[in-house]
Structure 1
């Protein structure tokens, strides 16, 4: 991975624009510290939409405390051409997700785990998931890519989720691709 300056990655949500990844990470830490005994799922996923003159990719980062709310943001990447080949589009979505997951270094993941660590015996949890906008159903054109994409996600140490369980890619990010 290239070594970009902190402000290379720009994220936004309904409250803030132009957040750096460090700012995103601080929001996640603060969200988890507010209830350190929670059940946390950190989810990253990308979806895309082909438009007339470009293809819009949205990567979502969502931290969920099951039953107690979420904090989320997106990163938008616009490719100035129509990506019409399904494999190219899915592979690029996956690359964008992998890039964001890689920003959660071992040190950062340890920092998040350490928030819930004192509460593990009281039921606190922390997991990290990669949501992939593909499905395994027979009618789904993306089913032939499931094994490859899930293996890619597993290889970077993240639990892969596909449709219907890939909510960050298929629902949250999807909303912002239009």
Structure 2
């Protein structure tokens, strides 16, 4: 699984995790949030982008993203649940790495590309329940910028 950081280029999962840890160690006195969001863009195939953002509260952030394709998905509902599932899978991978380091209090937010306006309003409760049921905090629009801004930015080209 490879990710791209706009500054550092292509990184595998291990190198991305090491970079996140380095970012945290650079300022141990700050508070951090780790946000994961996935967005998709339909076309001949579905372009998915998952973004990982480490936010140093009040002092900036670093982000990483990965792009991948999937065959056509019959409905928006299924696509939204797939986006959430990809984010949860990634959150579980990173969470287990933090646990191995003894960082069990590190909170991970899943940013969902759903909101009270538009076609996704009817599934907010279900998709948020899916995320919280997996032990992660869920954010929806307009607070889900990991999916609706960062990941969305990279879904436009494949």
TM-score, scaled relative to structure 2: 0.90
Change (3 A) 1:44 1:34: same
Task: Encode CA deviations 1:53-85: one digit per residue, 9 max, x unaligned.
Answer: 211000000000011111110011111x43351
Task: Encode CA deviations 1:82-110: one digit per residue, 9 max, x unaligned.
Answer: 33511111011111111101102345147
Match of 2:141 among 158, 163, 169: 163
Counterpart of 2:153?
A: 175
Query: Are the counterparts in 2 of residues 50 and 84 from structure 1 also a CA contact under 8 Å?
Result: no
Query: Are the counterparts in 2 of residues 46 and 93 from structure 1 also a CA contact under 8 Å?
Result: yes
Match of 1:54 among 45, 49, 56: 45
C-alpha separation in 2, matches of 1:107 and 1:78: 26
Q: What are structure 2's unaligned runs of at least 5 residues? A: none
Counterpart of 2:17?
A: 25
Change (3 A) 1:163 1:109: farther
Residue 128 (str. 1) matches residue 120 (str. 2): no
Over alpha carbons, which structure has the higher Rg? 1
Counterparts of 1:1-178 in structure 2, within 5 Å, are 9-51=1-43, 53-79=44-70, 81-109=71-99, 111=101, 113=103, 127-137=107-117, 140-178=118-156
C-alpha separation in 2, matches of 1:105 and 1:35: 20
Q: What are structure 1's unaligned runs of at least 5 residues? A: 1-8, 118-125
C-alpha separation in 2, matches of 1:109 and 1:63: 17
C-alpha separation in 1, matches of 2:91 and 2:35: 9
Over 2 Å off, 4+ runs = 15-18, 81-84, 109-114
TM-score, scaled relative to structure 1: 0.80
Measured on the aligned residues, the alpha-carbon RMSD in Å equals 1.9
